[in-house]
Structure 1
Amino acid sequence: MVDQWKAPESGDKSEPSDQQNAKSWKLLEKTLLASVQEQRRARRWGIFFKLLTFAYLFGLLVLFTPILDMDKSASRSSHHTALVELRGVIADQESASADNLVKGLREAFKDPNTKAVVLRINSPGGSPVQSGYVYDEIRRLRAEYPAIKLYAVIADLGASGAYYIASAADEIYADKASLVGSIGVTAAGYGFVGTMEKLGVERRLYTAGEHKTFLDPFSPQKPEETAFWQGVLNTTHQQFIAMVKQGRGDRLKDKEHPELFSGLVWTGEQAKALGLVDGLGSAGYVAREVVGEKELVDFTVQESPFDRFSKRIGASMAERLAMWMGLQGPSLR
């Protein structure tokens, strides 16, 4: 018996394939929408918990700040040696800015229980302007409070602008292995003229003023402009030397060692022999053995994380780019 093929009748109830596809797409669409909604809910909850955590931490900060201030005030209720930290690059908008250092020094000097002030230094230097501000303020405070001495204590590094500031102190101490000195001025940049020529880049620059572009890294150097800029650096260097000599006086052995102002650095032990420092010792040693008041109370201005973040945002990208491209002023580093 042979099976015969039979075509489906016109009344067959089988569903067309396009309707099946439409149902499948609707089901997939519902699934995707449900997934997106779930992700949105999860994101909202995530944001909520992050805000809740931030509010909690902020509340703790507000709660404990008065307690910390009370502890600090309590520690200042007896005679002490005041401590101010100079740490990092000396520059505006940095922790070692003139504003922060001057504020800390003023608070330290005016405290009625301060027996002496220790300026603890660990810095490669920085802005000659910021360093000059602090130097002048130290000299002013010493004159206003003649009974209170200021001792600069160099830790790992007290170079260039940092030593500029240290030289205003009554005495300078360092560790035997500290690096001290670097009495010089530098200004660095880059030149991209050859690179532009190789890349086939044409420089189009429009200015008013014959020497307006003399620090432009994309333009060739001119001998007269290079000589002018060297004169600026030399003038700044002589100002640096004059302030160091004013602060250190006859203790400097610069006549026997003219290389003192060449930009070289020395160990603390060598610096003592050259008259750059007066003795060897730490901040604790100075407080205990020199001042005679071993308790150190910190008057360093402490910036909050929010303040530091705000300052970073405040420094424009154009300024950073200009410094990187070569438009950077003299630096005591």
Structure 2
Amino acid sequence: MKKIAVLTSGGDAPGMNAAIRAVVRKGIYHDLDVFGIYYGYQGLIEGKIEKMELGSVGDIIQKGGTILYTSRSEEFKTEQGQIKAIEQLKKYGIEGLVVIGGDGSFRGASKLTEKGFPCIGVPGTIDNDIPGTDFTIGFDTALNTVIQAVDKIRDTATSHERTYIIEVMGRNAGDLALWAGLAAGAESIIIPEKNEPVESVVDRIKRGHERGKRHSIILVAEGVGSGMEFGEKIKELTSFETRVTVLGHTQRGGSPTANDRVLASRLGAKAVDLLLEGKAGRMVGIQNNQLKDHDILEALNQSHIPELSMYQLSQELSI
């Protein structure tokens, strides 16, 4: 293998640039030509491909987002779109592809592998919802962003004696809400994996109020539903002054944490190693701080389950 490429797909995540850097420099270290594909699978179909040099990835490890940009492609989901993508790769003599993204991106990589083109997936998503890895690139940064926001909201919640509902991202997974809720001392955490009845949350708020507590912080994962709707229910059942904050896409931005930079560097470099070993249709991940690789489809066919003992701990600590 002499030529490989890298692309980012789906939602951006802090640390993607660190992963791109690792792929490019690890590839060049092994005397490979490395190409960057802009705008994900759609850019691949359209031939938006450029050879990368050492300087192409200089001074990007600290930057959020992705220098290769990203997009979603309906065309790539079709057989014809996938064929066009492979034709573009062959046009440039590219023999292997590293795909950085979430489960949709991984399924795309699997489709290309099925058609005979070797791909390796690197998990990059703030949702931390990819089976086969303890952590995904971007999760730690997003988590710290949420914690900082909750800390600030708690200041005003305390000052005004209000209940605050904070909706966080995570798609169908509750990891962001769970970790942030425990780290920030939230009174209640509502996640898809433990969809607690609103009545239980209300009981907890009222118990706190009875012992003199005048504010509450409740984290709601977007996979459960709308934070606004949840806030209306809380206000209706308690009559306490209630405010709702939807953190939105601020959670995706910002300079990646040290953890995300190191994780992205390790995973990106490992992906190049796997291509050089002749492997395809694999994803890289980290489990118990050890780099692992798994069949992409086998991993995606498993269910992602957060560490639910943390949920129980949050209940015990928020009495």
TM range (shorter): under 0.3
Q: TM-score, normalised by structure 2?
A: 0.26
Query: Which is greater in Rg?
Result: 1
More strand by share: 2
TM-score by length of 1: 0.26
Larger % of helix: which? 1
